Amino acid sequence: MRPSALLLTPLLAYVLVAQAAAPADTPKKPVTDTYHGVRVTDNYRWLEDAENPAVKHWVEQQNKHARAFLDRLPDLPALEKRVDALFVGASPSFEKLQYANGVLCALSERSLVVLKSEEDAKPIRTLVDVDKLPAKNKAVIEAFTLSEDGKLAAVTISADGIEEGTVHVYETATGKKRPDRVPQAFATAGGDLAWKPDGSGFYYTRFPNATPGGKPNSERYARQEVWFHRLGTKAGDDRYVCGRELPRYAGLSMRVSKDDKHLLVGAAFGSGSDQASWHLLGPSGKLETLAGPKDRVATVDFGPDNTLLLESHEGAPHGRVLKMPLAERKLSTARLLMPQGDVLHTWLVTDRLVYALDRRNGSERLRVFEVAGKELPTVELPPLTAVEELVQLKGDVIVYKVESYTRPPAWFRYDPATRKSVRLPLSETSPIHFRDIEIVREQAISKDRTRVPLTILRPKGCKLDGERPVLLTGYGGFRDAQRPGFQADRRVWFDHGGVWAIAHVRGDGDLGDDWHRVAQGAGKQVVADDFIACSEHLIARKYTRPGRLAIKGGSNGGLLIGMAMTQKPELYAAVIADVGVLDVLRSERDCYGPHCIAEYGTVADARQFKAMLAYSPLQRVKDGTTYPPVWLRTGANDHRVDPYHTWKMAALLQASRTKNPVLLTTVADEGHDATTSPAEDFAFLFSRLGVKYQRPAPLP
């Protein structure tokens, strides 16, 4: 059916929605700060106090207003039924596989299970089912780690969206829960757990300032430390290992050498950053520095034969792998193992091999190297796919999970002896397909003439007449590449003639370390320039027009959406921003904020402040401007991006006299991953883009 047959004018759609009365004007209580001689007034600073009864009442009223609007969207009931039907008959998913000494564990749905083997998709035992825990529907398995002998699993469980978990220990052979209980061993700002090789206990990270129930502040995730827990003892008896001598704001990772003589500790300055330092704790008890932030070493791991393997970006923005003897422990002695190629995403060292996953033009390839440096034949992967997990089985045999935009995740086992990949029963199936959808890669030209990749998912043979409803998404930070992923609910969008586009803007890691670095700090504006260029490209190529173009993003992507919406409001017909960093000037005061200074900048630096003031969405909202209809969403317990960012943005937009709806929803008892309904997303977008729900025709 032609898209024009589905049109419903935005005015008519707006009339059909029985609007609830707009929420009362948010009181203004001006607070003025002076940065480097520049006065900045914040009328809604009072909304930063989430414990204030007046703020809680305000949030409740905003939720009621938004719910009244959303519940009256004419297509919502039909869309809810349709979205639910997309998942009927779908197979269980398996992810985060770990293997140790013949024991294979995985997360499946909301449970941690033990599998008989990679050849059998029926779990033989459930270790943890979060739906059966006291905090039902609020508990989440943040992480788990198998001991080297496979007999025990240390499982970190958090609740209510606060990513500070408690470690519990389970026996994999029986499912029995051990009495060990280590609170707050994992947190928003990073963390890790590593077993001693003999299984007698584990190293874990914690933040000494993150007291249970404590008020969120910028010191909560300061000075992460490494501690050791011996099995069978109380957490209060745990032993401090190191960390107080490391950078104040850094997320730690750990590896233990197989001979138990060395502990490797990495301190990363923000997610996806090569701004890391690496340290080694040996028998002497002294913490030695292997590499500092200026050395641009992103990852270090123990290799075979008492070696260290390092991912270096110094002189190699796409990444290369170096090797050096553990006994030498000097970066100057490192020798090349794997040269720079396409953009290195991740790598895995097995007994005698190194598997390196890199990407180019939206596709990924899996290269294989002997530890001595000889390159072996590449593992064949389908085009336009992402390898989400690489897991070592016995020796050099691995399993890996492949995912694409149009096919559900599939697991494969690769044996370097035969050089063949075999599809495994752990692979997912879906009741729907996307055989009628094609994927094209185009390039938009940004403000500074940089070519920005754009992935476009569109119905085959779609006519480019400027009338397609288009949803454009993006992220733009922390070197996080926008990789292919399967979403069954996209079927709804395509059934209505829609086009789904992904902007691979600078700040992401799609084109290497330089692609990320240029968009950090004072350079952050290029992220919005690239996204706006992608928006204009879709219009110029006649995929759509401003009245039919919607944008959506979350977290750093919420910042990106806020930047685009406030800089070019006339381009968009609908906006959805989730848990976004929207008041950048205040962000470094947040719990996680100090960890993101390298990404966003600091107001303490005059040059960076000037750039932050110019791009921060909250400071760009202008009274009297017509902004597109916007739905802002957050979780009440978000410690990564404090909910006040979203609250203040909603208050300011509502007060700006924009002619369009401004909705705000806050999900209680959830955090940065606050859940929303895809059906509600589509209902909101349909009502603003002039799309009328149609029952789907049978797929060919």
Residue pLDDT, tens place only, 84-117: 999 999 999 999 999 999 999 999 989 999 999 9
- 389 and 501, same domain (yes or no): no
> What is the bridge-based pairing of β-strands 320-325 and 307-312?
antiparallel
| pLDDT number for residue 383 | 85
pLDDT band at residue 211 using 50, 70 and 90 as cut-offs: confident
pLDDT band at residue 23 using 50, 70 and 90 as cut-offs: confident
Instruction: Evaluate whether residue 671 is within a structural domain.
Output: yes
- When the pLDDT of each residue in the chain is averaged and rounded to a whole number, the result is 93
- The tokens for 171 are 């026996």
Instruction: Evaluate whether residue 491 is within a structural domain.
Output: yes
| pLDDT number for residue 646 | 98
| pLDDT number for residue 5 | 32
Residue 304 has pLDDT above 50, yes or no: yes
Q: CATH number, domain at 678?
A: 3.40.50.1820
- 473 and 351, same domain (yes or no): no
Cβ pair 581, 645 in contact under 8 A: yes
**Residue 539: exposure state from Cβ atoms within 10 A (0-12, 13-18, ≥19):** middle
Return all residues near 38 (Cβ < 8 A) that are at least 6 apart: 609, 613
Final residue before a domain boundary, out of 367, 400, 430 = 430
Place of tokens 């990270």: 205
Place of tokens 């979060």: 130
Calculate mean pLDDT across residues 190-198: 94
* Structural domain containing residue 373: 343-430
Residue 11 has pLDDT above 70, yes or no: no
| pLDDT number for residue 380 | 87
| pLDDT number for residue 12 | 40
- 533 and 546, same domain (yes or no): yes
Give the helix/strand (H/E) hosting 230.
strand 225-230
Instruction: Evaluate whether residue 35 is within a structural domain.
Output: yes
Residue 384 has pLDDT above 80, yes or no: yes
- 350 and 489, same domain (yes or no): no
| pLDDT number for residue 269 | 79
- The tokens for 191 are 């963390």
| pLDDT number for residue 136 | 58
**Higher-confidence position of 698 and 45:** 45
CA distance 276 to 524: 21
Calculate mean pLDDT across residues 232-258: 95
- 423 and 476, same domain (yes or no): no
pLDDT band at residue 138 using 50, 70 and 90 as cut-offs: confident
CA distance 406 to 48: 42
Instruction: Evaluate whether residue 336 is within a structural domain.
Output: no
Angle between helices 606-615 and 525-540 (to 10 degrees): 30
- 389 and 437, same domain (yes or no): no
- The tokens for 374 are 């000889």
Phi, then psi, of 45 in degrees rounded to 5: -55, -30
Calculate mean pLDDT across residues 540-565: 98
Residue 44 has pLDDT above 70, yes or no: yes
State the amino acid at position 618 in one-letter form. L
Q: Give exposure, 568-596, as e/b (b: 16+ Cβ within 10 Å).
A: bbebbbbbbbbbbbbbbbbbbebbbbbbb
DSSP labels for 567-607?
Answer: H-GGG-SEEEEES----GGGGGGSSSGGGGHHHH--TTSHH
pLDDT, tens only, 47-83: 999 999 999 999 999 999 999 999 999 999 999 999 9
pLDDT band at residue 7 using 50, 70 and 90 as cut-offs: very low
Give the helix/strand (H/E) hosting 532.
helix 525-540
Cβ pair 274, 280 in contact under 8 A: no
Calculate mean pLDDT across residues 223-245: 96
| pLDDT number for residue 15 | 41
* DSSP alpha helix (H) spans, 396-524: 490-495, 513-517
- 588 and 678, same domain (yes or no): yes
pLDDT, tens only, 597-656: 999 999 999 999 999 999 999 999 999 999 999 999 999 999 999 999 999 999 999 999
- 424 and 436, same domain (yes or no): no
pLDDT band at residue 320 using 50, 70 and 90 as cut-offs: very high
| pLDDT number for residue 163 | 86
Calculate mean pLDDT across residues 22-28: 85
| pLDDT number for residue 215 | 73
Q: How far, in whole angstroms, is CA 426 from its chain's centroid? A: 24
Distance between start and end Cα atoms, the chain: 14
Kindly list the distances between the CA atom of residue 644 and the CA atoms of 138, 220, 489, 581, 584, in Å, as whole numbers in the listed order. Answer: 22, 17, 30, 9, 12
Instruction: Evaluate whether residue 13 is within a structural domain.
Output: yes
pLDDT, tens only, 604-617: 999 999 999 999 99
CA distance 622 to 657: 9
Place of tokens 């998913």: 93
**Higher-confidence position of 489 and 24:** 489
Q: DSSP 3-state assignment of 681?
A: helix
- 448 and 523, same domain (yes or no): yes
CA distance 689 to 692: 9
Of all residues in the chain, the percent with pLDDT exceeding 70 is 95
Angle between helices 53-71 and 678-689 (to 10 degrees): 70
pLDDT band at residue 134 using 50, 70 and 90 as cut-offs: confident
Question: Side-chain half-sphere of 134: how many Cα atoms within 13 Å?
Answer: 1
CA distance 215 to 637: 11
**Higher-confidence position of 554 and 208:** 554
User: What global pTM score does this model have?
Assistant: 0.95
**Higher-confidence position of 472 and 135:** 472
Instruction: Evaluate whether residue 523 is within a structural domain.
Output: yes
Residue 19 has pLDDT above 50, yes or no: no
Cβ pair 443, 455 in contact under 8 A: no
CA distance 468 to 455: 16
Final residue before a domain boundary, out of 381, 403, 430 = 430
Which of these, 368, 418, 410, lies nearest to 389 by C-alpha position? 410
Phi, then psi, of 436 in degrees rounded to 5: -90, 5
| pLDDT number for residue 526 | 98
- 381 and 486, same domain (yes or no): no
Residue 358 has pLDDT above 80, yes or no: yes
Long-range contacts of 151-154 (CB under 8 A, 24+ apart): 151/101, 151/103, 151/199, 152/178, 152/195, 152/199, 152/231, 153/105, 153/112, 153/127, 154/193, 154/195, 154/202, 154/204
Place of tokens 């924009």: 658
Q: How far, in whole angstroms, is CA 698 from its chain's centroid? A: 34
- The tokens for 92 are 């269980």
> Worst-scoring range by mean pLDDT, 18-22, 98-102, 472-476?
18-22
pLDDT band at residue 272 using 50, 70 and 90 as cut-offs: low
- 661 and 568, same domain (yes or no): yes
CA distance 417 to 410: 22
Residue 16 has pLDDT above 70, yes or no: no
CA distance 667 to 665: 7
Final residue before a domain boundary, out of 368, 395, 430 = 430
Place of tokens 């004018």: 9
Instruction: Evaluate whether residue 253 is within a structural domain.
Output: no
Q: Domain count of the chain? A: 2
CA distance 564 to 534: 11
Q: What is the DSSP letter of 122?
A: S
Return all residues near 417 (Cβ < 8 A) that are at least 6 apart: none
Residue 135 has pLDDT above 70, yes or no: no
Residue 14 has pLDDT above 80, yes or no: no
Q: What is the DSSP letter of 81?
A: H
Calculate mean pLDDT across residues 3-32: 59
- 16 and 41, same domain (yes or no): yes
| pLDDT number for residue 271 | 60
Instruction: Evaluate whether residue 470 is within a structural domain.
Output: yes
∠ CA 595-208-229, nearest 5°, is: 115
For the chain, count helices (H), then strands (E).
12, 38
